[in-house]
Amino acid sequence: MNNAISGPSGNGVQQSISVAVVTAVARRRGADPTDLPPLYEWIDPDALDALFSPTRRGGSRDGRLEFTYDGHEVAVDCTDGASITIDGTPVGESVATGLEASASTDA
């Protein structure tokens, strides 16, 4: 399963949704991601990644999840890609999840 996304930095580096959330909150604060508390104190990172991973047949999953992380309201929306919103502000453009190609081959 490929639940990696191009991170909110837009640098093309593949990272999981959970890492992208921590990175986005850190950027919003102007801090280093390692300065933030662990994401698992608010939400299970493995469950977050699995929620937006491809289906067993490789198809995409659609959905939206909202939660609080260290005082910030976070929303992850996965329809045509993954988008992350922190405190109501989108973090960059929607980032590709790599699921679109596998969904088109499922027909």
Mean per-residue pLDDT for 60-64?
Answer: 83
pLDDT band at 35 (very low <50, low <70, confident <90, very high): very high
Range of the domain at 67: 4-104
In this prediction, residue 7 carries a pLDDT of 43
- Residue 73 pLDDT greater than 80, yes or no: yes
State pTM to two decimals.
0.74
The count of domains in the chain is: 1
Round to whole Å and give the CA distance between 33 and 55.
29
d(CA 15, CA 88): 22
Query: Is pLDDT of 55 > 60?
Result: yes
The share of the chain scoring above pLDDT 70, in percent, equals 71
pLDDT value, residue 66: 96
